[in-house]
Amino acid sequence: MLTVEGLRSAYGRIEVLHGVDLEVRSGEIVTVVGANGAGKTTLLHCLSGTQPVSAGRIHFRGDELTTVPAYRRLRRGLAQSPEGRQIFTNLSVEENLRLGAFLFTDERVERDMQDAFAMFPILREKRNLVAGGLSGGQQQMLAIARALMGRPHCLLLDEPSMGLAPLIVAQIFEVVESLRARDVTILLVEQNAYGALKIADRGYVMETGQITMTGPAAELIADPRIREAYLGI
């Protein structure tokens, strides 16, 4: 579904991705784990087109995506729930969800919104409130729900557990896992390596802009190097 080859990207003259190769197959949950500043967020922004790529190629569902402008990538089926949530803080919860389906005007929009409310009932309760007033966990739910409103084939999720209480984190991971049943392929970026590897099929380990290890999630969890570096066991 998604193939990345030799991807390089820089901020100004400082290169932070030094040739990343990665693949996500249809129906998979794939996770990229790595420490602070490894380049995970940069990778996702390259995939979404909101960060320039200096070399390499991105293929998605058979098409080359590398030079497609950011706002056209959701049309191709690639959505992102970005780091820091990035909800529309001045707009209501419902307006945020409606804008998630900006590309669509058919009657499915309303159905998808009801689905989102079923997935996160608290959002239904707060649908008319300004999104900036939501708690961190609720904002994260809104960010995921908004991304799903765009009817993606593949969802890029950047640190959905960041700064949230353990109970909420568990709830969010549960929802992510449930997306499998909706035919949404997932690329999940996390510092919470244990939580991510537990729900993932495969994983990649990223260190200072490069992939240093990859394999089935179960194997990575069992790997002594990973246990020491990322799981704190």
Partner 1 sequence: MDALLQFMLSGVTVGAVYALVALGFTIIYNASDVVNFAQGEFVMLGGMITVFTYQAGLPLPLAAVLAIAITSLVGVALNKLALEPARGAPVVSLIIITIGASIFIRGAAQLIFDKQLHRFPSFSGDAPIHIFGATLVPQSLWVIGGAVLVFIALWLFFTKTLTGKAVLATANNRLAAQLVGINTGWVMTLSFALSAAIGALAGVLVTPITLVGYDVGVGLALKGFAAAMLGGMGNPKGALVGGISLGLLEALTAGYLSSQYKDAVAFIVILAVLFVMPQGLFGKSTTERV
Ligand X SMILES: Nc1ncnc2c1ncn2[C@@H]1O[C@H](COP(=O)(O)OP(=O)(O)OP(=O)(O)O)[C@@H](O)[C@H]1O
Output the smallest distance, CB 40 to ligand X, in A.
3
Neighbours of 36 (CB within 10 A): 6
Measured from the CB atom, the residue of 67 and 232 that comes closer to partner 1 is 67
Q: Are 2 and 185 in contact (CB under 8 A)?
A: yes
User: Of residues 70-129, which lie at the interface with Mg ion (CB under 5 A)?
Assistant: 83
How far, in Å, are 93, 143, 146, 176 from residue 127 at the CA level?
5, 14, 13, 22
Distances (CA, A) of 50 to 45, 68, 124, 140, 141: 5, 10, 30, 20, 22
Per-position x/- string for 31-60, each x denoting binding to ligand X as judged by CB under 6 A, each - no binding: ---x-xxxxxxx------------------
d(CA 59, CA 154): 13
**Per CB under 6 A, 11 contacts ligand X:** yes
Q: What are φ and ψ of residue 153, in 5° steps?
A: -85, -30
Q: What are the two backbone dihedrals, phi and then psi, of residue 71, each rounded to the nearest 5 degrees?
A: -70, -10
Q: Residue 54's binding partner, choosing from Mg ion, partner 1, ligand X, none, with beta-carbon cut-off 5 to 8 A by kind?
A: none
| Token pair of 54 as six digits | 């200096």
The option from Mg ion, ligand X, partner 1, none interacting with 74 (CB < 5 to 8 A, set by class) reads partner 1
Shortest spacing between CB 41 and Mg ion, in angstroms: 3
Q: Which does 86 bind (CB under 5 to 8 A by kind): Mg ion, partner 1, ligand X, none?
A: partner 1
**Cβ 101 to partner 1, closest distance in Å?**
8
Does 41 contact Mg ion by CB under 5 A?
A: yes
C-beta closer to Mg ion: residue 82 or 150: 82
- For the bound state, the minimum distance from the C-beta of residue 158 to ligand X, rounded and expressed in Å, comes to 7
Cβ closest to Mg ion, residue 83 vs residue 201? 83
Sequence-ordered strand ranges (E) for 45-86 = 55-60, 63-64, 78-81
| Chain contacts with Mg ion (rule: CB under 5 A) | 41, 83
What residues make contact with ligand X under the rule CB under 6 A?
11, 16, 34, 36-42, 83, 191
